[in-house]
Amino acid sequence: QKEVEQNSGPLSVPEGAIASLNCTYSDRGSQSFFWYRQYSGKSPELIMSIYSNGDKEDGRFTAQLNKASQYVSLLIRDSQPSDSATYLCAVFYSSASKIIFGSGTRLSIRP
Partner 1 sequence: NAGVTQTPKFRILKIGQSMTLQCTQDMNHNYMYWYRQDPGMGLKLIYYSVGAGITDKGEVPNGYNVSRSTTEDFPLRLELAAPSQTSVYFCASSLRDKEKLFFGSGTQLSVL
- Binding residues for partner 1, rule: CB under 8 A, are 3-4, 6, 8, 31-32, 34, 36, 43-46, 49, 51, 88, 90, 92, 94, 96-104, 106
Q: What is the Cα–Cα distance from 33 to 71, expressed in whole angstroms?
A: 10
CB of residue 16 to partner 1, shortest distance in Å: 27
CB of residue 3 to partner 1, shortest distance in Å: 8
Sorted by sequence, the CB contacts under 8 Å of residue 47 that are 6+ apart come out as: 35, 36, 37, 58, 61, 74, 87
The values of phi and psi at residue 51, to 5°, are: -125, -20
CB-nearer residue toward partner 1: 60 or 106: 106
CB-nearer residue toward partner 1: 45 or 78: 45
